[in-house]
Chains A and B, each alone.
Chain A
């Protein structure tokens, strides 16, 4: 039972390059999330998908796009990478978001992204 799997684990890009971070969960969760974690800033929500077919912006969506490919997969794309996007990116999933309160989230181990 893998839980939440993120690929790649590490990546170095040059400014202006594009790339897609992949995330897949095998827990039949409805909701999926992308966060970035920077020193001293905690986790900040980039985008989330409350259910298959829907996506919503979080606190820091600029410079990113997402695709909820199916119930299992939620990808994050950087179209033109900038040094300010150097960070650790975490994908998470939960049974559902909102309603009578957010359910516990399950996290992957992150993608460490450096942009030169």
Chain B
């Protein structure tokens, strides 16, 4: 079963607008990661936020984590057509050591010019 669930499932915006997607998870975690997948390609790691961090930035990406609500958000500022992709959050499976990541079903982002 999915540990993380992204919301919305799909998002369409214009170039220059900001895109926000959310992830909710069920159990305690060590860290939460966000990945991007372009059509026909493998996933690419974007950013990792640890359970003791509340916010992290990387270029035009801003990730927040609220462990009390078991949720995270990914904000992409000043979107470009090249940001069109699916975005996935991933968390540890139940926060146990030695276990692998569990991915959500993803948010599909379309950025039109």
Are the CB atoms of A97 and B100 closer together than 8 Å? yes
Q: Pick from B37-45, B59-67, B70-78 the stretch touching chain A.
A: B37-45
In the complex, A98→B99 CA distance in Å? 5
- Number of contacts between A and B (CB, 8 Å)? 76
B85 located at the interface, meaning its Cβ lies under 8 Å from any Cβ of chain A in the complex: no
In angstroms, Cα B98 to Cα A90, docked, is 20
For B29, the closest partner residue in chain A by CB is: A101
Count of residues in A whose CB is under 8 Å from the partner chain: 30
B43 pairs with A101, CB closer than 8 A = no
B102 at interface, CB cutoff 8 A = yes
**Closest residue of B by beta carbon distance from A106:** B45
What residues of chain A lie closer than 8 Å to B42, measured between beta carbons?
Answer: 4, 90, 92, 107-110
Residues of chain B contacted by A44 (CB below 8 angstroms): 103
Q: Does B96 contact A (CB under 8 A)?
A: yes
**Measured CA separation A35–B105 after assembly (Å):** 13
CA of A4 to CA of B43, assembled, Å: 11
A10 to B59, CA, bound (A): 35
Q: Indicate if the CB atoms of A104 and B100 lie closer than 8 Å.
A: no
A50 at interface by CB-CB < 8 Å: yes
Q: Can you name 6 A-B pairs with beta carbons within 8 Å? A: A43-B103, A98-B92, A102-B31, A102-B92, A105-B45, A110-B42
Interface, chain B (partner A; CB < 8 A)? 1-2, 29-31, 33, 35, 40-45, 48, 50-51, 88, 90, 92, 96-106
A residues contacting B by CB (< 8 A) are: 4, 31, 33, 35, 40-45, 48, 50, 56, 58-59, 90, 92, 97-102, 104-110
Known contacts A4-B42, A45-B100; 15 further A-B pairs (Cβ under 8 A)? A31-B100, A40-B105, A42-B106, A44-B103, A56-B100, A58-B100, A98-B98, A99-B98, A101-B30, A102-B99, A105-B35, A107-B42, A108-B42, A109-B40, A109-B41
